[in-house]
Amino acid sequence: MSLLNLLLRASVPPVVEPAPPGNGPAPLGDEPVLAKAPLWPQGQELLLPEKHPMYPRLNPLLLFRPAVPRSALRNLQTAFCPVPAATDLWCEYLPPCPLPQNKIVVMSSETLDRKENDCRDAKVDLDTILVEEIGQFGKFQLRTLALTLVAVIFCAVYGEFVFTAARINSRCLIPECEEPSTAVYAPDWILNAIPGTSLTSFDNCQRFANASTILTDRSTCPADLFDVHRVVQCEAYVYEHAQTVVYDFDLGCDEWRRTLIGFVRTFGSLVALPITGYISDHWGISDHWGRRFALTFNAFNSGWIGVTRYWANTYSGYIVSVFVESALGGAVFSCTYILVLELVGPKYRTVAGAILTTFFAVGQVILALVAWAVPYWRPLTLAMYIPQLITIGYLWVISESIRWYMSKNNYDEAEKLLQNVAKVNGKQLSRQSLEALRRTAEEQKRRIDIEKKDKIKEPWLIVLVFQNRRILIRCLVSPIWWITSTLIYHGLSINAVNMSGNAYLNYAAVAAAGIPGFWLAVLLMSRIGRRPVLIGAYWLCGLCQVAYIFMPDDLYAVSLAVYLVGKISISTVVTAIYMYTAELYPTKYRHNLFAFSSMVGRIGSIIAPLTPAIGAATFDNLPFILFASMAFLSGFLMFLTPETNGTKLPDTMEEASNIGLRDK
């Protein structure tokens, strides 16, 4: 006779006459369930066969006599029930205390009472509920991810200065021979006045000094008017076209002022982080603030402030607009990253992070294609920033972070949102889980409050770091890894427009090359380890920079291929370095030490926009020599830190210090 006979309707737990035995379970259609079982000895475990029709739904299940509603069976994981001799009792689902998979356990009433008390004291965090009940990556999480990906694509617009402030071919205005309003870029007489070898190859920033002030023929601008043995700097410029701010603000050969635009952009993004952190974490006195508002605040500010730049008529006004936009709207990606990763389960966080970085690269490709279609900087500004105004809708279509509600002790809103997640995902969330989650959160808050009171007695973190040599070494080398990764990642994108060939296609190709790099890190880190992936990626990137330096100009396809391999390598580093750095530090200080490396690492992204000016002031390949040197150095510094793959995240300084020692 089968263990289960499923025949009878029961939506509440009244006593129901058991169904007669049959040859097998009835299907679980719309009919409720009656589970009938004999009295097994206490403590005996019975296995439910894996091929049993109810196996996916009853896992594990204690069979008992009273009727059980279908809703209780649908997501049942554990049930503890006494087995009385004569009476039928209702059994309650207690999710915090799972039994071994697929087993039926019979226990006495006393054991049940003790087990129920243990369950009431069990600790349940949000990850437990995501994993065991409402789903780690269901429809709700997928919908939120899809909506936030729009903002991620928009935040790639922050690189628009690569095109709007791109270098324009220029030459000196020769007032002896032409008028500014009618001057053309390459007249027939240009080599008489400017050093050069052809009508398409001449000096952009210098001209020959005057040899005579008497002009006999203004239309020909004869060579005897100039002293070819003496050159002077330009006083005014003639431009090949008027597509970028270089023309509007007459930047000419002033590379430092031109590249300062990108510097101000990235510096403003650095300023945006503490502003956004304050909005996200400290403006929590009202339900109107939080992760969702921080994301909307940044995305919408970027849109409307960017649009106002269309009317900038001076260089200083343009620079101020760039800084304000990036300072008040430059943290879109970090807001999105936190919002999404706080919602998905631990199993899918790495994948979710890779999806976000992938769509950032997609946004860069879109930026290049739109800039190609709309080459003039003012219309391009409108084309890129006006669509961002739709992000104001995030206030209504995206839910707040559950973890943020809990951090502000707003458990009622957190529970409502959890129930909504379960509903959208087609799951059921038990009341016991919500109560256990609230107890756990309250207990954690009390513990944190106690720790804050006791923190005065603890030594400062910097003292603890200097007392532990291994942790100190990690704190010294990890910022160098971050500086290298941000410098090369952004530097390769910025310098791509200066390569031979089509600047727009170069930028798009280099941006797209980052996508396989992101996923290579995800696939390889758990298989061959964190350090081998990082060392190999750093060194491969360095080799590509060296190879690119020696590539002849006529081998465009080969040069581009080498350049792209370098971008793939550094993209692998960018993904892997997040996880590896976090795994090196103990739980209590992980956030502070990770943030230290990340903040110092921003130096690389701030310097990256200046690398074209560095190359122009010295020699063109100096940025790539810098990239190669930093990549090789960072790879070697990896040997000073341990492998973390397969190790438990350390909770104390001692555990963090001992990572890798057991393998030696």
Q: Does any domain span residue 367?
A: no
Q: Does any domain span residue 596?
A: yes
pLDDT in tens, 332-370: 988 898 888 888 888 888 888 889 999 999 999 999 999
504 and 641 inside one domain = yes
609 and 485 inside one domain = yes
Query: Which residue, 224, 240, 256, sits at the end of a domain?
Result: 240
Q: Does any domain span residue 247?
A: no
Output the six-digit token pair for 26.
């009835």
Instruction: List residues bridging with 375 in a β-sheet.
Output: none
pLDDT at residue 281 in the model: 59
Q: Length of the chain in residues, anyone?
A: 664
pLDDT beyond 70 at 500:
yes
Q: Does any domain span residue 479?
A: yes
Per-residue pLDDT band at 627 (split at 50, 70, 90):
very high
Which position has the higher pLDDT, 604 or 459? 604
477 and 550 inside one domain = yes
Query: Which residue, 204, 223, 240, sits at the end of a domain?
Result: 240
64 and 200 inside one domain = no
For residues 88 and 48, the answer to whether their CB atoms sit within 8 Å is no
pLDDT at residue 489 in the model: 94
pLDDT at residue 633 in the model: 96
605 and 508 inside one domain = yes
Place of tokens 């439910």: 48
pLDDT in tens, 108-119: 445 555 555 555
Instruction: List residues bridging with 227 in a β-sheet.
Output: 209
Render the burial of 46-72: b for 16+ CB within 10 Å, e for the rest: eebeeebbbeeebbbbbbbbbbbebeb
CA angle 181, 185, 190 (to 5 degrees): 110
CA angle 336, 339, 345 (to 5 degrees): 125
The winner for highest mean pLDDT among 134-143, 168-177, 383-392, 654-663 is: 383-392
Taking the whole predicted model, whether its pTM rises above 0.85 is answered as: no
220 and 83 inside one domain = no
Q: Does any domain span residue 299?
A: no
pLDDT, mean of residues 566-581: 91
What is the Cα–Cα distance from 8 to 67, expressed in whole angstroms? 8
Output the six-digit token pair for 269.
């993004």
486 and 615 inside one domain = yes
pLDDT in tens, 382-425: 999 999 999 999 999 998 888 888 877 788 888 888 889 989 98
Q: Does any domain span residue 560?
A: yes
104 and 192 inside one domain = no
Nearest Cα to 63, choosing from 50, 74, 52, 73? Answer: 73
pLDDT beyond 60 at 216:
no
Q: Does any domain span residue 104?
A: yes
Nearest Cα to 644, choosing from 444, 474, 469? Answer: 474
Output the six-digit token pair for 35.
């589970």
pLDDT at residue 317 in the model: 94
pLDDT at residue 472 in the model: 92
Kindly report the average pLDDT of the chain as a whole number.
78
pLDDT beyond 50 at 556:
yes
DSSP letters of 229-254? EEEEE-SSEEES---SHHHHTT-TT-
pLDDT in tens, 17-29: 333 333 333 333 3
Which of the residue ranges 4-8, 194-198, 261-265, 402-406 would you say has the lowest mean pLDDT?
4-8
The winner for highest mean pLDDT among 78-82, 191-195, 345-349, 579-583 is: 191-195
pLDDT in tens, 165-183: 998 889 999 888 888 888 8
By residue range, what is the domain housing residue 537?
Answer: 459-664
477 and 618 inside one domain = yes
For residues 469 and 661, the answer to whether their CB atoms sit within 8 Å is no
502 and 608 inside one domain = yes
pLDDT at residue 415 in the model: 87
Residue 60 carries which DSSP code?
S
What is the Cα–Cα distance from 633 to 635, expressed in whole angstroms? 5
pLDDT beyond 70 at 90:
no
What is the Cα–Cα distance from 468 to 654, expressed in whole angstroms? 9
Place of tokens 């304050």: 278
495 and 643 inside one domain = yes
- Specify the number of domains making up the chain: 3
Query: Which residue, 188, 220, 240, sits at the end of a domain?
Result: 240
Q: Does any domain span residue 67?
A: yes
The CATH number for 601's domain is 1.20.1250.20
501 and 614 inside one domain = yes
Nearest Cα to 627, choosing from 493, 528, 423, 485? Answer: 485
pLDDT, mean of residues 3-10: 30
pLDDT, mean of residues 41-60: 36
